[in-house]
Amino acid sequence: MRLARLTQRKQFLAAAEHGRRFRSSVLTVQVRDAAEEAGRDGLRLGLTASRKVGNAVKRNRIRRRLRAAAALALGAQAGRACDVVIIARTETLSAGFEALVADLSIALDRARPAKPYAARSGRKPPQDKQRAPDSGSAPAKP
Give the tens place of pLDDT for each residue, 59-97: 999 999 999 999 898 877 777 788 889 999 999 999 999
Res 118: pLDDT = 47
> Hey, CA dihedral for 57, 11, 98, 110, is it positive or negative?
positive
| CA–CA separation, 114 and 112 (whole Å) | 6
CA separation for the pair 118, 109 (Å, rounded): 21
Mean residue pLDDT of the chain comes to 80
